[in-house]
Amino acid sequence: MADKQDFLRMVRTSLGVSERRDIARDDATSYFLSRDEVSDAANDIRVDAAQRRSELTEEFVTRATAAGWNIHRVDTIEDAAEEVAAVVRDHGAKAVMRSDHEILNSLPLESALKADGVELSVAVRDPSDDSEEDLERRLALREQSFDTEVGITGVDFAVAETGTVAMEPRAGSSRLVSLTPEVHIGVMTPDSIIPSLDELFALTRDQHLSGEHKGMVNLITGPSRTADIEANLVIGVHGPREVHLVIVG
């Protein structure tokens, strides 16, 4: 059995990371920082990421491609809608579901998909409704997600170091959109890209302390895969077998 360092070395090699990055022990994720220090650290991260936007975008694209993402870079939201429609068309999909991320609300997806006879549904519900009728709606949404061929979501954060995208719990939206369809399409902008998981945890901690973040974060690094069965790598067992990222701008 490989020891810890050997295991981490294999992970870095698989991700295309040649060298270990040493993180200072007093970094922004420290549990013992005061509320003001956490907020200041989060602001510093946002400023640094904005200043390094081009560099981080190129690093993210490289790492994400290595992790199995199909990358599509476009200039406008109209181009993004057409790119999404092209992926749906290539798979001959007719049942498509999207989340209620803000970036998707600005995309003319319905018109882009309509010409191909695609049925587009939105995975949204009122999270304050705990009635019996709402339970029935949630169960129906769950069943519908398993019949959906392509799921489309936004992206809250993208981690340059690993090619990972992060999606936070969103009021009224179902995370099943990124988990149950065979094809997942994420739509994002470069300003969601941050350097590493350390910055992600610092930012989500800041959100948690301010009451903005409630619940788990989905971390997605390429298509679903497992090697649990006789150490043979199998794609698409626990989630999408194909994943795409449309980067706008």
Could you tell me the mean pLDDT of each successive run of 10 residues in the chain, 249 residues long? 66 64 50 78 93 96 95 96 96 91 91 88 72 76 85 95 88 77 95 94 87 80 68 60 95
pLDDT for position 231: 56
191, 159 contact by CB (below 8 A): no
pLDDT the model gives residue 10 = 73
Q: What is the pLDDT of residue 234?
A: 55
Amino acid in position 157: F
In a domain, 160, yes or no: yes
- 18 inside domain: no
CB-based burial, 68-87: b 16+ in 10 Å, e otherwise: bbbebebeebeebbbbbbeb
3-state secondary structure 74-133: ECCHHHHHHHHHHHHHHCCCCEEEECCCHHHHCCCHHHHHHCCCCEEEECECCCCCCCHH
Whether 17 is covered by a domain: the verdict is no
Model confidence, pTM: 0.82
- pLDDT computed for residue 4 by the predictor: 62
Q: Is residue 143 part of a domain?
A: yes
Residue 40 inside a domain? The answer is yes
Please indicate, yes or no, if residue 75 is contained in any of the structural domains: yes
Alpha carbon 201 to chain centroid, angstroms: 15
Would you tell me how many other CB atoms lie within 10 Å of the CB of residue 238? 10
Q: How many domains does the chain have?
A: 1
Tell me what pLDDT residue 240 has.
85
Residue 44, domain member (yes or no): yes
Expressed as residue numbers, the domain containing 159 is: 29-248
CATH label of the domain that carries residue 72: 3.40.50.10420
CA 83 to mean position of chain CA atoms = 18
Q: Is 34 exposed, middle or buried (0-12, 13-18, 19+ CB in 10 A)?
A: exposed
What does the pLDDT read at residue 212? Answer: 77
What pLDDT sits at residue 225?
64
Residue 244 forms part of a structural domain: yes
